[in-house]
Chain A
Amino acid sequence: MTRTATIGVRGMTCASCVQTIEMVLRDTEGVSEASVNFALERATVTYDPGKVDISRLEKAIRDAGYEPVRHEIALKVLGMASPHCAGLVEKALLDTPGVMMVDVNFSLETVKVAYDPATVTLADLKKAISDAGYRPLDLEGESVEDREKRARREEIRKQAIFVAMSWVLSVPIMLGTFREYFSISSFTPEWLASPYALWALTTPLMVGPGAQFFIGTYRGLKHGYTDMNLLIATGTGAAYILGVVNTLFPTAGFGGPEVAFFETAALLIAFLVTGRYLEALTKGRTSEAIRKLMGLKAKTARIVRGGKEIDVPVEDVVVGDLVVVRPGEKIPVDGVVREGYSAVDESMITGESIPVEKKTGDPMIGATMNKTGVLRFEATKVGKETALAQIVKLIEDAQAAKPKIQRLADKVAGRFILAVHVLALFTFLFWFFVGYGAYFRGGTFLLSSTSLLSISPGVFSLLLAITVLIISCPCAVGLATPSAIMAGTGKGAEFGVLIKGGDALERANKVDTIILDKTGTLTKGEPSLTDVHAEAPHRPEEVLRLAAMAERGSEHPLGEAIVQGAEARGIALADAERFQAIPGHGITAEFQGRVILLGNRKLMRDRQVTGVEGLISKLEEFEGDGKTAMVVAVDGEAIGVVAVADTLKENSAEAIARLRKMGLEVAMLTGDNRRTAEAIARRIGITRVLAEVLPDDKASEVKRLQQAGRVVAMVGDGINDAPALTQADVGIAIGSGTDIAKEAGHIVLIKGDLRDIVTALELSKKTIRKIKQNLFWAFAYNAAGVPIAAGSLYALSPVLVSPELAALFMATSSISVTLNTLLLKRFRPSMLKRRLRSERALRVVPLRIPAAAASGNPGGERP
């Protein structure tokens, strides 16, 4: 039996850290799979609990030089009468899957639990204690989100202190070093130029902010792994040691105090630490969307227990609880309205900006905002089952999954460090044995500062090798893909489009054919009354009234549509008698002694109804439009026709027009007969129709198109669409549909609005473009920077890049990749932009301020 655990990891700085941790975990006995998400700072480990436990996994991470973040919570436990009870509580908790450590304090009646939030929730922990016969009471400690936020804040704070310390020490080091070169001697004391003073100032930098690089290198090498820290440690370490040697043994022949290199070591660390600080700041922002979503969760809920309204932590709400929500309050969990009427802002979950009206029987989504009235609803989904928790999990899984392009980038980043060290070695050997003698000219300068007048071949070659190590930046390569995927999937969630991973994004980018299922996708999936035709001298209201009265006893969807249609038109209906269904043909009923017959032509023929011939053209017209037409007859005489059809969703035509404009081939898939299917397709602008397709054959149709070389996206909502959604290159499930369809789809549209297909495709294109841009710049930077640092242009122009300048370039490159990714945050779907433009155009007339808003009640309580 295997188990999967999620462990928070702090201290990762680049993609090679990801590889190091993954390798360390995979090398641990009992671990079958390990995947580390750099941007989310989390490791997901599949392991055999019989062979290894979480503490051992945490130790492996710690030994590799990183900090596992534990989720801990403190609970008050009442009812523990003896230390034996404490033992029982401990056992009950330890037996709960996902619990890593339990510390029971019998005298204080508290218990501290370390747990894996992906496996076990707080409610599970409290239930385990309750089941053991004790009462978990007072809740202390932080939530998982708070803890992660705090860990991130601590990391930023730590790096900020290092940055301040680095620059406070680096500035006097620079002044001291360059006292003789520039006109700064007037305000720089002479003693500051002494190599001993420079040594004294550089040493705290090496053991303070610089120590992280050496510790990381040591831990990595201990396990036989190399990472970014090694490049930095080798570079700064070599510069520092050379400085010390030149200070203590000025005549040893390494250039003496003139070539102390303390400023090189100091500036290297200052730039690198500044880079890490900025990276910590920006890295957090790419995963902002998911944290925003997590932050939406209500912390407390007001529930009715024992006839009283009480406030409880949201984790304590159980299925079946009656929850009360007042205007302006968050809906704590998912449920169904039992009492009340209100408008609810669901934009944070569905992206729909217009508040949705809620009445008895309507579903409620947790984390949305109640606007106007008081609602009482029954909790149906709590904890990990709520829509919000599912969405968060879906996005987290998506961000953890590595697309092909990222796997390649990770591989390159992993080999990169080795390649750079080999290059540094060859750079040293070339300049030592060949380059110095052939090209070196005294008096040449490095691009920043140091004079090379009296430098020996050994030191000159070493300087170039250090620059090669420092300038190379595998971080940029490693960050390029995950940061863009994180921003892309997060942005999608903002607009109600859930993208399940980078692979889905990658494939959606290549889609050239879209197949849309008809019922429930293009149409609402519920028939409604569309037309009423009356034969003179009868009036349409009369025809509809009689048809609706006859159908009142029917449970058939077509009958319900006719009744609802009549009610919606304000027609008063009385009860008919002797209702009788004639399966496959229609119905018959009696009202005030008159026999009403409603059904198809065959029924009319069988009952010898007269006057049907005059209605044939109307019947054919309705059927030609894809509607179901029924003849209404009274006492053997046809008096009119009613037509019912599954109505199209409001935005179907607009979405399809846009998809076609994007150059995609759009096809409709349905089990309907060709005539009806084509009629509907015509109305929304679809030219290719795959009609009369049996549910089982939907996947085969998709496969057929794929075999013809098409990259197919299938959009559907029903259970019978699931195989086709899985078969398609990209399965797009409608969120309002069944859970099975959502499970099968690669992309989920929460609102069920077809315009979101356009948003999903546009977002995938933008994200993939961003990944390509990032990778291009990352590789271009390294491809250009490393050879220049190795002195490849020195023969042409006697200017070299100094190690400190290389550090500046290196820090800039990874930050620029993250900043480029952050541009994705400006993404707006083209359909939304169009809608906003048209709304602005409509606002030419100044809006009148409602009295409610003017009187300080902007929401305006519904009468």
Chain B
Amino acid sequence: MTTRKMSGRKRRSLVAAAYLAISTAASLLFYVAARATGSAATDTLLGVVWVFALSAIVSASILPPVLERWHARRRRAEA
């Protein structure tokens, strides 16, 4: 049970790091695009927060099953 808990925690940390990376990248892209199109600073700020939140949610939904599949494939390959 201990091994499983550890791997679960590790997996969650990995996923959380991935969320942050994806969301930051999305927000950064948005910021660049908004500044390039001449958007107001407040609107850009609002957009950066909103894009970050939604990107985090979307990646939180997609990443765990994708990682799970990736792990399963690796386990199979090792076996």
Q: Name A residues whose Cβ lies closer than 8 Å to a Cβ of B.
A: 27, 29-30, 51, 221, 224, 226, 230, 234, 238, 252-254, 417-418, 421-422, 424-425, 428-429, 432-433, 456-459, 461-462, 465
A230 touches B15 (CB 8 A): no
B58 touches A432 (CB 8 A): no
Q: How far is the CA of A421 from the CA of B44 in the complex (A)?
A: 20
The residue in chain B whose Cβ has the minimal distance to the Cβ of A425 is B54
Q: How far is the CA of A428 from the CA of B62 in the complex (A)?
A: 20
Q: How far is the CA of A254 from the CA of B41 in the complex (A)?
A: 10
A432 touches B61 (CB 8 A): no
* Inter-chain contacts of A254 with B (CB < 8 A): 42, 46
CB neighbors of A among B29-71 (8 A) = 30, 33-34, 37, 39-44, 46-47, 50-51, 53-55, 57-58, 60-64
Could you say which interface size class chain B belongs to? 20 to 34
A221 touches B34 (CB 8 A): no
A432 touches B54 (CB 8 A): no
Q: How far is the CA of A417 from the CA of B44 in the complex (A)?
A: 26
Tell me if B4 counts as interface (CB < 8 A to partner A).
Answer: yes
Apart from the given pairs A253-B41, A425-B58, A457-B39, 20 other A-B contacts in the complex at a CB distance below 8 Å: A29-B1, A30-B1, A224-B15, A226-B57, A234-B57, A254-B42, A424-B54, A428-B54, A429-B51, A432-B34, A432-B39, A433-B33, A433-B34, A433-B37, A456-B43, A457-B40, A458-B42, A458-B46, A462-B46, A465-B54
Given contacts A234-B57, A254-B46, A428-B50, contact A51 B1 (CB under 8 A): yes
**A421 touches which of B37, B42, B46, B58 (Cβ 8 Å):** B58
Tell me if B73 counts as interface (CB < 8 A to partner A).
Answer: no
A458 touches B39 (CB 8 A): yes
A421 touches B61 (CB 8 A): yes
Q: How far is the CA of A252 from the CA of B46 in the complex (A)?
A: 11
Given contacts A425-B55, A458-B40, contact A418 B61 (CB under 8 A): yes
In the complex, 24 of the A-B residue pairs with CB atoms within 8 angstroms, ordered by the A residue number, are: A221-B60, A224-B12, A226-B60, A226-B61, A253-B40, A254-B42, A418-B58, A418-B62, A421-B61, A425-B54, A428-B47, A428-B54, A429-B30, A432-B39, A432-B43, A433-B33, A433-B34, A456-B42, A456-B43, A457-B43, A458-B44, A462-B50, A465-B50, A465-B54
Q: How far is the CA of A230 from the CA of B51 in the complex (A)?
A: 15
A238 touches B43 (CB 8 A): no
B61 touches A458 (CB 8 A): no
* Inter-chain contacts of B1 with A (CB < 8 A): 29-30, 51
Q: How far is the CA of A457 from the CA of B33 in the complex (A)?
A: 14
The residue in chain A whose Cβ has the minimal distance to the Cβ of B56 is A221
Q: Which 7 A-B pairs have the closest CB atoms?
A: A458-B43, A253-B42, A418-B61, A458-B46, A425-B54, A224-B64, A29-B4
Q: Name B residues whose Cβ lies closer than 8 Å to a Cβ of A.
A: 1, 4, 8, 12, 15, 30, 33-34, 37, 39-44, 46-47, 50-51, 53-55, 57-58, 60-64
The residue in chain A whose Cβ has the minimal distance to the Cβ of B63 is A224
Q: How far is the CA of A458 from the CA of B8 in the complex (A)?
A: 39
Q: How far is the CA of A224 from the CA of B4 in the complex (A)?
A: 17
* Inter-chain contacts of B30 with A (CB < 8 A): 429
Q: How far is the CA of A428 from the CA of B34 in the complex (A)?
A: 12
Q: How far is the CA of A424 from the CA of B47 in the complex (A)?
A: 12
Given contacts A51-B1, A457-B43, A459-B46, contact A224 B54 (CB under 8 A): no
The residue in chain B whose Cβ has the minimal distance to the Cβ of A255 is B42
Measured CB to CB, the closest approach of chain A to B63, in angstroms, equals 8
B54 touches A417 (CB 8 A): no
Measured CB to CB, the closest approach of chain B to A47, in angstroms, equals 13
The residue in chain B whose Cβ has the minimal distance to the Cβ of A437 is B37
* Inter-chain contacts of B64 with A (CB < 8 A): 224
* Inter-chain contacts of A238 with B (CB < 8 A): 50, 53
Q: How far is the CA of A417 from the CA of B61 in the complex (A)?
A: 9
A234 touches B53 (CB 8 A): yes
* Inter-chain contacts of B12 with A (CB < 8 A): 224
* Inter-chain contacts of A458 with B (CB < 8 A): 39-40, 42-44, 46-47
B58 touches A252 (CB 8 A): no
Measured CB to CB, the closest approach of chain A to B58, in angstroms, equals 5
Measured CB to CB, the closest approach of chain A to B48, in angstroms, equals 10
The residue in chain A whose Cβ has the minimal distance to the Cβ of B55 is A425
* Inter-chain contacts of A417 with B (CB < 8 A): 61
* Inter-chain contacts of A433 with B (CB < 8 A): 33-34, 37
B57 touches A432 (CB 8 A): no
Q: How far is the CA of A399 from the CA of B12 in the complex (A)?
A: 34
Q: How far is the CA of A422 from the CA of B61 in the complex (A)?
A: 11
Q: How far is the CA of A226 from the CA of B54 in the complex (A)?
A: 12
Q: How far is the CA of A30 from the CA of B33 in the complex (A)?
A: 49
The residue in chain A whose Cβ has the minimal distance to the Cβ of B61 is A418
Q: How far is the CA of A402 from the CA of B41 in the complex (A)?
A: 52
* Inter-chain contacts of B44 with A (CB < 8 A): 458
Given contacts A29-B1, A252-B42, A459-B46, contact A428 B57 (CB under 8 A): no
Q: How far is the CA of A226 from the CA of B60 in the complex (A)?
A: 8
The residue in chain B whose Cβ has the minimal distance to the Cβ of A461 is B47
* Inter-chain contacts of B50 with A (CB < 8 A): 238, 428, 462, 465
The residue in chain A whose Cβ has the minimal distance to the Cβ of B33 is A433
Q: How far is the CA of A29 from the CA of B1 in the complex (A)?
A: 7
B57 touches A230 (CB 8 A): yes
The residue in chain A whose Cβ has the minimal distance to the Cβ of B15 is A224
Q: How far is the CA of A230 from the CA of B60 in the complex (A)?
A: 12
Measured CB to CB, the closest approach of chain B to A263, in angstroms, equals 20
Q: How far is the CA of A254 from the CA of B1 in the complex (A)?
A: 51
* Inter-chain contacts of A230 with B (CB < 8 A): 57
A224 touches B60 (CB 8 A): yes
**A422 touches which of B43, B58, B60, B63 (Cβ 8 Å):** B58
Q: How far is the CA of A459 from the CA of B8 in the complex (A)?
A: 39
Measured CB to CB, the closest approach of chain A to B72, in angstroms, equals 14
A421 touches B40 (CB 8 A): no
Measured CB to CB, the closest approach of chain B to A188, in angstroms, equals 30
Measured CB to CB, the closest approach of chain A to B9, in angstroms, equals 12
Measured CB to CB, the closest approach of chain B to A600, in angstroms, equals 72
* Inter-chain contacts of A462 with B (CB < 8 A): 46, 50
The residue in chain A whose Cβ has the minimal distance to the Cβ of B46 is A458
Q: How far is the CA of A458 from the CA of B40 in the complex (A)?
A: 9
Measured CB to CB, the closest approach of chain A to B44, in angstroms, equals 8
* Inter-chain contacts of A252 with B (CB < 8 A): 42
The residue in chain A whose Cβ has the minimal distance to the Cβ of B3 is A29
* Inter-chain contacts of A421 with B (CB < 8 A): 54, 57-58, 61
Measured CB to CB, the closest approach of chain B to A671, in angstroms, equals 53
Measured CB to CB, the closest approach of chain B to A536, in angstroms, equals 90
